[in-house]
Chains A and B, each alone.
Chain A
Amino acid sequence: MMLAIVRFARSRAAHAIVSGIVGATIGGIFAWILRTVLLTEGMINAVKFLSGFALIPGEAIDTFHPILVNVLAAVIFAVHVMVGAGSGMGLFQDSRMGRFMYYAGASTYAWGLVGQVIFWLEGALLVNLFRVWSGEPFDLMAESALVLGAFFSVVGFLIVGGVMTDWFLWIGGHETPLHHGAPEGMPEWFRYFSVDVNHKVIGIQYGFTSLFVLLVGGIFAILFRLELSAPGLQFLEADQYNTLFSAHGIVMIVSILLGVGAMVNYLAPVMIGAADMAFPRLNAFSYWVGFPSFLLILAGMAVGGWDTGWVGYSPLALRTAVGVQLFMLGFYMSGFSSIASAINTIVTTAYMRAKGMSLFRMPIFVWAALATSLIQFTATQTVGVALTMTIAERALDLTFFNPENGGNPVLYQHIFWFYSHPAVYVFILPGLGIISELLPVFTRKPLFGYRWIALSSLGIALVGFLVWAHHMFTSGMADTLRVPFMITTMLVAVPTGVKFFSWIATLWEGKMTFETPMLFTLGAISVFLIGGISGPILGTIPTDLHLHDSYWVVGHFHATMFGGFIFPFCAAMYYWYPKITGHMYKESLGKLHFWLMVPGFWVMSFGQMSVGVIGMRRRISDYDPALGIQGTHVLITIAALVIGWSILIMIYNFAVSARTEPVAGRNPWGSRSPEWQAPSPLPEFNFDVPFEVVGDPYDYGLEDAIYTQAAPAPSGD
C-alpha cells in the first residue's frame, strides 16, 4: 500500500497532475485578473465606445461582452492547465520555457505548495463541518478554520513534498536506503530543488532561502523607511505600517535562522571530518519545515495583517486582526526546524569527530555552532508555549493572558522572552565564530586565547538564559526582580568582552591582508562593537527608563544583528564561495559591497540611536515634527537604501562569478582548516581519505606544525 502510493507519486501521471495544478493556479490568477479588469464598468463603456464605430449596438455588447470575457478566461485557464500537465509529462522539452516548467513542476517547492493548499482546504473544511453541524455559517475565512487549515497546510507541504516519505515507508516496514545524488532521471543541479539528504546541499538550500527571505524582509524595511522619511503619513496607512514592521521583524528572524542553518549545516560536519550530519533525513526535514512556515507568515499579512510587532504581546495580540494567528503559527512551526537541526548538530559534534579531534582541537566555529545548538535545543520550546497559549486563547476561547477573564498579560512576556532573549545569542554566536575562524587565516597568526573564546561561547549561552527580564524593566514586574536581572544583564558583557579582546590580540602584530572576507570580518567587529557598547546603558535600569522602547533600542539591536550575523554571514559567503563553487568571486565587487555597507550601516545605527535619545519611540508610523529629527530620519532611509543595494551587488557577484571567474583550487586562502585540504567543490562524502588530527588548529607561524594528516589505512585483518 505504502509502496504503491510512493510508486504512483513518482510516476509521470502524478507529475502531470501536480504540474497541471500549478498551471491551473497560475492560469486561474491570470483569468481572474482578466475578468476583474475587463468587467469593470469603465472597461465595458470603452468597449461600447469602440464598437460604436463598427456599428455594433450597445445592447449587444451588454449581452455578449461578459460571455466573451468568460470564454476568454476559461480558455486561458484551460491552456495553462494543459501546458502545465503537458510539461509535467515531459513534453515541450525542446524549448527553454518547457524545460523550465518541467523542472519547476517536478521540484519539491511546487509539490509542497500543492500539498499546502490542499491540506489547508482540508483543515478549513473540517472546521466548517463542525461549524455547520453546530449551526454556524459556513466560512472558510473564519478564524478557527484559518488556524487549523494553516496548521494542516504545513504538514501537507511536508507530506506531498516528499519530505517524510522515507519515514512513512519505515512504518510500512520497507527498506529505505539513503539516496545520494540527484533524483532518478534528473540532472545534478536539480538536487537543490528537491529533498536531498546531503548536508552540503541542505546548507546551500538554507543559504539561498535565507537570502531570498532577507530580500523580502529588506523590501518591507525599505517601504516603511520611505514612509518615515517625513512626518505624517505618506503612502501607508497606520495598520499597513504596523503589519510591515511586524512582518519585517519576524521575516528577518526567519532569514537569520536559515542563515545560521546554512553555515552550521555546510561547515560543522566538514570541519570535524564527518561525511554528513548524524541524521540526514531529519536534516532535510529541518530545512523543509521552515519554508511553509515562512509562507504562513506572508499569508498572515494577506488576511489582514497584525500590529503587535514580532513580540506579539497580549492583550493586543488577542484583539488585533486575524493575521496574528498565521504569524504565530508560522513562527511556531519554524521552531521545529530549530529544534531538529540543533539535535542534529549536537549529536554530530559529539559523536562524529575525526580521530584525534578532542574538543579543544575543534575549529572554533564548531564551538559556536555547538553553543548555538544547545540554546536552540533547550529554549525554543518555551516560545512555542507562549505562542500556543495565545493561539489557543484566541481560537478556543481559553484564558491565559486576558486580564478581563483573570489572565495575566505580564506572564506572556516572561514566557516569550525566556526563549527570545537566548534566541539573539542563537543569531550571533555562529557569526562571532566566523570572526574567530577567519581572523587567524588573514593575520597568519594563531587565534589568541582559543580556549577562552571557546568557553566564552558557552558562557554567553549560559548567562543568556538568566537575563530575559531586562526586556521587561518597565513592564510593572516587582522591583525585587528588576535588580537581579540588571546584575545578570551587565554580566553578559564579560564573555562578550573576552571575545573582543581576544580578536584584537589576534590582530596585534598579525601580517594582515585585506581580501573581501577579511574586510567583512573587520567590519563585523566594528559594527558588533557599536551593538555591544550601546548595551550597558540599556542594562542599568535608571538609564533604561528613558531609552526603553525608544529608537536607541532599535539602533542597538540592529547593530548586534548586523555585527553578529549579517556582516559575518557575508564574510563567510565570500570566504567559502570558492569551496562551494570551485571558483573565486569578483574581488572588486566584493570590495564595493563592503565600502557601501559599512558606512551605510554606521550612519543608520548612530542615526537610530540619536533620534531615540531625543524622543523617537519604537514602532510608530508617524513622528512629531517638533522633535526636529526629520533630517536624521532621511539619512537613515538613505543608509537603508544603500545597504539594500549593496546586498543586491553581492547577490549579483555570486550569481555570475561561478561562470566567469577563474578556478579557485583547493586552498586559495592558505587555511589550516580540514575543509580546505579537500578538493573544491567538496566530494559527496567530503573526504575521500579520512584524516586524523595531530596538532592544534591555529598554529600559524610555527614551522612544521601539522593540524590534520591522512589517517593510516585500516589494517586488513
Chain B
Amino acid sequence: MRKANHFINVGLIIVVSTFILRLVFGWMFQLPYGPGAEADLDTLPERLSVFMGFVRPLPASAESVAIDVMFNWHFWMIAFLFALIMGLMLYSVFAFRRKEGDDTDAPHIHGNTALEIAWTVIPIIVVLGFGGYGWVELNRLITPKPDEMTIQVTAFQWGWSFNYPEEVDAGPSPVRGPVMMLAVDQPVLLEMNATDVLHAFWVPEFRVKQDLVPGRTTYLRFTPTDVGDYVLRCAEICGSGHANMLASVRVVSQAEFDEWVIATATTEPYSTMTAEARGERIYREGFGATGAPSCAGCHSVDGSVINGPTWLGIYEKTGTLDDGSTYIADDEYIRNSILNPNDQIVEGFNANVMYQTYAEAIPAFEAEIEGLEGDFDFDVIADLIAFMQTLEATE
C-alpha cells in the first residue's frame, strides 16, 4: 500500500507543479516592452496568449496569433515534462534517500518491458503530433494570399533598402527607401536579396524570419495587423556592423500609406532641385537602385557620432588622422574619403566600417538618374559637398 501512496503523492506534485511552472514561464517571458504594449487584444487567442503569459513582444501580424497559440501548447508541454522529470527526481531524492544506519542495497528491479514500450511509443505519438501540427501551420504561412503586395527587400553590409515595384505607376520617381512602410492588414510578399553575405529578416513582433542569400531570391509572407513603429533586426551574423544592422518598420493606415506612396513617387526630379537640396536628399535617401546605404545611416548632421564622424561643420574642418597626420576637409579630401574610405581614417574611428564600394555605386546612381530625367549632368559628390557647406557649426 505504501507503494501506491508514493505514486499518488508524486502524481499530485506533478499536476500542481505543471500549472505553477506554466505561470512561472509566463512571468519569465512577459516583460513590459515595446510598441505592441498598447496593442488592443481583441481576439480570443490574443487575449489567451497574453493571459497564459506568452508572449512578449506582443503579436503584431496575422501569422503571429496562430504561432503564439502553438507556442502556448509548447509551453504547456515544457511545463509538464519539466514537472514530470524534476518532480519524480526530487521526490525520489527526498522519499527514498538512504536512512540512517541502513547499509543494505535497494530492491533488485532491472526493468519492465511494458513500461519501456509505453515510454517509447507515447513520445513517438506526441512528437509526431507536434510535427503534424507544425506542418499544417507551416503550410498556412507559406500559402500565397489573395492581393498580396510585393516588396523587394535588399540587404547589404550593413543596412536595408525597400522597393515597391507595384507602385511604379504612381509617379515619376520610384517608390523606395531605407524605411519599410507597410499598410495595416495588407498582406505582403517580400522578395529578398542580399548583395554581399547572408543576412536575415526578423521583426520579433511579426514572429517570422527568413535568411537573405546572395545570388538567390528568398520569400517571406506576412500581414501586419497593428499600427505602430517596429524595428527590423538582422539575425544572421554578417560582420562588424551586424549588431547595428537595423531598419525602421512603420505600419500605418492604408490612407497614410497611399499618401506616402504618392509623396515619394511625385518627389521633385533631381534636375530641377538646387545642388544643396539634391545633396541633402542623397544624404537622406541614399543612392537609388544601387542599394548603397544612405549617408544618414552613419553620419549625423547635429554633431552626434553614429558610426562615422558627424557632418556638422565638416567642410574645411581640420583634424588628425589615425596615422597622426593632419587633414583639411577640402573638396579633394571629401571626394577621396567617399571613393576610397580606407585611405584616410579620422582618429578615433575604424577602417572597414564604411561601405566600401561607393566608387562603383555613385557612377551607377548618376547614370540611373540621368537616364530617368534626361539632359542632366548629375555630380553626386559635388552635390553632397554643396550640402555639407550648409552645415556650419554654430558656436
**B109 close to A445 (CB less than 8 A):** yes
- Which of chain A's residues 676-717 have a Cβ closer than 8 Å to chain B? 696, 698-702
- Which of chain A's residues 368-414 have a Cβ closer than 8 Å to chain B? 403-404, 407-410
Q: Is B74 an interface residue (CB 8 A)?
A: yes
Closest to A452 in B: B116
With A and B bound together, what is the CA distance between A446 and B81 in angstroms?
24
Q: Report chain A residues within 8 Å CB of B85.
A: 500, 504, 525, 529
- Which of chain A's residues 435-468 have a Cβ closer than 8 Å to chain B? 443-452
- Assess A476 versus B239: contact at CB under 8 Å? Given A507-B88, A541-B138, A626-B34: no
Q: Report chain B residues within 8 Å CB of A511.
A: 96-99, 102, 104-106
Q: Is B218 an interface residue (CB 8 A)?
A: yes
With beta carbons under 8 angstroms apart, the residue of A508, A542, A629 that contacts B66 is: A542
Q: Report chain A residues within 8 Å CB of B29.
A: 610, 613-614
Residue among B28, B135, B137, B242 with max Cβ neighbours from chain A (10 Å):
B242
Which of A425-433, A530-538, A640-648 contacts its partner?
A530-538
**A490 close to B238 (CB less than 8 A):** no
**A448 close to B128 (CB less than 8 A):** no
Q: Report chain B residues within 8 Å CB of A621.
A: 242-243
**A315 close to B242 (CB less than 8 A):** no
Which of A30-38, A83-91, A102-110, A481-489 contacts its partner?
A481-489
Q: Report chain A residues within 8 Å CB of B350.
A: 237, 239
**A614 close to B115 (CB less than 8 A):** no
Q: Is B241 an interface residue (CB 8 A)?
A: yes
With A and B bound together, what is the CA distance between A610 and B31 in angstroms?
9
Q: Is A665 an interface residue (CB 8 A)?
A: no
Q: Report chain A residues within 8 Å CB of B207.
A: 545-546
With A and B bound together, what is the CA distance between A448 and B111 in angstroms?
5
Q: Report chain A residues within 8 Å CB of B86.
A: 526, 529
Q: Report chain A residues within 8 Å CB of B244.
A: 622
Q: Is B71 an interface residue (CB 8 A)?
A: yes
Q: Report chain A residues within 8 Å CB of B116.
A: 449, 452, 498, 502
Which of B194-202, B247-255, B288-296 contacts its partner?
B194-202
Q: Is B210 an interface residue (CB 8 A)?
A: yes
Which of A67-75, A253-261, A272-280, A306-314 contacts its partner?
A306-314
With both chains docked as a complex, state the minimum distance between the C-beta of B352 and any C-beta of chain A, in angstroms: 8
**B28 close to A610 (CB less than 8 A):** yes
Tell me the dominant secondary structure on chain B's binding face: mixed
- Assess A513 versus B98: contact at CB under 8 Å? Given A529-B86, A546-B209, A699-B108: yes
**A614 close to B57 (CB less than 8 A):** yes
With beta carbons under 8 angstroms apart, the residue of B56, B105, B130, B200 that contacts A444 is: B105
**B89 close to A545 (CB less than 8 A):** no
Q: Report chain A residues within 8 Å CB of B66.
A: 542
**B239 close to A307 (CB less than 8 A):** yes
**A316 close to B127 (CB less than 8 A):** no
Q: Is B52 an interface residue (CB 8 A)?
A: no
With beta carbons under 8 angstroms apart, the residue of B88, B209, B234 that contacts A545 is: B209
Q: Is A522 an interface residue (CB 8 A)?
A: yes
With beta carbons under 8 angstroms apart, the residue of B111, B235, B240 that contacts A449 is: B111
Closest to A534 in B: B78
**B78 close to A550 (CB less than 8 A):** no
Q: Is A599 an interface residue (CB 8 A)?
A: no
Q: Is A194 an interface residue (CB 8 A)?
A: no
With A and B bound together, what is the CA distance between A140 and B53 in angstroms?
59
With A and B bound together, what is the CA distance between A328 and B141 in angstroms?
37
Q: Report chain A residues within 8 Å CB of B57.
A: 614-615
With A and B bound together, what is the CA distance between A514 and B233 in angstroms?
47
Which of B118-126, B267-275, B319-327 contacts its partner?
B118-126
With A and B bound together, what is the CA distance between A623 and B105 in angstroms?
55
Residue interface bits B202-232, CB-to-A below 8 A is 1, else 0:
1010011111011110100000000000010
Residue interface bits A587-628, CB-to-B below 8 A is 1, else 0:
000000000000000000010001001110111111110111
With both chains docked as a complex, state the minimum distance between the C-beta of B186 and any C-beta of chain A, in angstroms: 20
Q: Is A548 an interface residue (CB 8 A)?
A: yes
With both chains docked as a complex, state the minimum distance between the C-beta of B331 and any C-beta of chain A, in angstroms: 31
**B213 close to A409 (CB less than 8 A):** yes
With both chains docked as a complex, state the minimum distance between the C-beta of B153 and any C-beta of chain A, in angstroms: 13
With both chains docked as a complex, state the minimum distance between the C-beta of A492 and any C-beta of chain B, in angstroms: 9
**B96 close to A536 (CB less than 8 A):** no
With A and B bound together, what is the CA distance between A498 and B124 in angstroms?
11
With A and B bound together, what is the CA distance between A622 and B243 in angstroms?
6
- Assess A446 versus B93: contact at CB under 8 Å? Given A543-B67, A610-B29: no
- Which of chain A's residues 199-252 have a Cβ closer than 8 Å to chain B? 237-239, 242
Closest to A532 in B: B81
**A446 close to B89 (CB less than 8 A):** no
**B88 close to A504 (CB less than 8 A):** yes
Closest to A500 in B: B85
- Assess A533 versus B28: contact at CB under 8 Å? Given A476-B213, A525-B85: no
Q: Report chain B residues within 8 Å CB of A546.
A: 67, 71, 204, 207-209
With A and B bound together, what is the CA distance between A500 and B122 in angstroms?
14
Q: Report chain B residues within 8 Å CB of A549.
A: 200, 202, 209, 235-236
With both chains docked as a complex, state the minimum distance between the C-beta of A632 and any C-beta of chain B, in angstroms: 8
With A and B bound together, what is the CA distance between A505 and B111 in angstroms?
9
Q: Is A174 an interface residue (CB 8 A)?
A: no
- Assess A545 versus B208: contact at CB under 8 Å? Given A445-B105, A494-B124, A700-B106: yes
**B204 close to A409 (CB less than 8 A):** no
With beta carbons under 8 angstroms apart, the residue of A500, A502, A542 that contacts B70 is: A542
- Which of chain B's residues 119-153 have a Cβ closer than 8 Å to chain A? 119-120, 123-124, 127-128, 130-131, 133-135, 137-138, 141-142
Q: Is A136 an interface residue (CB 8 A)?
A: no
**B96 close to A510 (CB less than 8 A):** yes
Q: Report chain A residues within 8 Å CB of B112.
A: 448-449, 505
- Which of chain B's residues 30-44 have a Cβ closer than 8 Å to chain A? 31-34
With beta carbons under 8 angstroms apart, the residue of B77, B110, B138, B209 that contacts A447 is: B110
With beta carbons under 8 angstroms apart, the residue of A237, A404, A448, A512 that contacts B109 is: A448
With A and B bound together, what is the CA distance between A522 and B96 in angstroms?
14
**B119 close to A501 (CB less than 8 A):** yes
With A and B bound together, what is the CA distance between A626 and B28 in angstroms?
18
Closest to B140 in A: A542
Q: Is A184 an interface residue (CB 8 A)?
A: no
Q: Is B55 an interface residue (CB 8 A)?
A: yes
Q: Is A319 an interface residue (CB 8 A)?
A: yes
With A and B bound together, what is the CA distance between A628 and B240 in angstroms?
24
**A238 close to B241 (CB less than 8 A):** yes
Q: Is B263 an interface residue (CB 8 A)?
A: no
Q: Is A493 an interface residue (CB 8 A)?
A: yes
Q: Is A497 an interface residue (CB 8 A)?
A: yes
**B89 close to A476 (CB less than 8 A):** no
With beta carbons under 8 angstroms apart, the residue of B33, B120, B202, B204 that contacts A628 is: B33
Q: Is B92 an interface residue (CB 8 A)?
A: yes
**B82 close to A498 (CB less than 8 A):** no
**B88 close to A508 (CB less than 8 A):** yes
**B96 close to A507 (CB less than 8 A):** yes
Closest to A321 in B: B352
Q: Report chain A residues within 8 Å CB of B31.
A: 610, 614, 628-629
Q: Is B48 an interface residue (CB 8 A)?
A: no
With A and B bound together, what is the CA distance between A615 and B58 in angstroms?
11
**A319 close to B67 (CB less than 8 A):** no
With beta carbons under 8 angstroms apart, the residue of B32, B78, B96, B119 that contacts A512 is: B96
Give 14 pairs: A residue, B residue, CB < 8 Å, sorted on A: A316-B239, A444-B105, A448-B112, A474-B211, A493-B123, A501-B115, A504-B89, A505-B115, A511-B97, A525-B89, A548-B200, A610-B31, A617-B233, A701-B105
A residues with CB within 8 A of B: 237-239, 242, 307-309, 313, 315-316, 319-320, 403-404, 407-410, 443-452, 474-476, 479, 482-483, 486-487, 490-491, 493-494, 497-498, 500-502, 504-505, 507-514, 522, 525-526, 529-530, 532-534, 536-537, 539-543, 545-546, 548-550, 606, 610, 613-615, 617-624, 626-629, 696, 698-702
Known: A498-B120, A522-B93. 11 other contacts (CB 8 A): A238-B243, A308-B237, A445-B106, A486-B134, A504-B88, A536-B77, A536-B130, A540-B130, A545-B207, A548-B235, A624-B231
